Structure 1
């Protein structure tokens, strides 16, 4: 029994180190792509998105151990929930930033100052 635990621990350590190495390599590849710009425009965005998807797959496999368990339904449920949460966070953040940008761009600077002074209760 002790021998099995030792083999399992080594296997997990090897899995974590492999995942760490791949994640580090993919992060450096994305950083290099953004800094050196081997491509321009949409091609650069597609390259970075592809690297992000590959890194997501590496992290799901090596750190969250999705795909190793015998219950694929549970893995699909966890992955679906994670995708929904990420979508809500990203879409909500973009929506808020767009709304703020629209409201600030359509308001003259003097009106912005007046609104801030009124909201904060500052009297001159």
Structure 2
């Protein structure tokens, strides 16, 4: 797989006409050996858990802001040894966090540490990262 180094390049990939998904894991080869499992129940899921990168119609900000937000959503996974990568796949169901579960997965590219750093910087400088819906 090639590596995507910038959010602008990732934005271009998401505009190619086919839904692109983001996954944090050891990578496609490891995922082929170990299907997604719901950690709380221990149940094996019928597809690979991933997050859609498509920019929703209501999003009026730059697409790179949306992508930065999505990339940063699961950064804690990096601490567990996972790497971010993007893929195509066919949704067959949804997981416990309402994420699509994919089959017929086609790996596209790794996301570089530089892209993750760019996403983190953009997310925290352009959006209200961590803001909550409800006030205490």
Shorter-chain TM-score bucket reads under 0.3
Q: Which has the higher contact order (CA 8 A, sep 6+)?
A: 2
* Higher helix proportion (structure 1 or 2): 1
Report the structure number with the largest CA radius of gyration: 1
Scaled by the length of structure 2, the TM-score of the pair is: 0.23
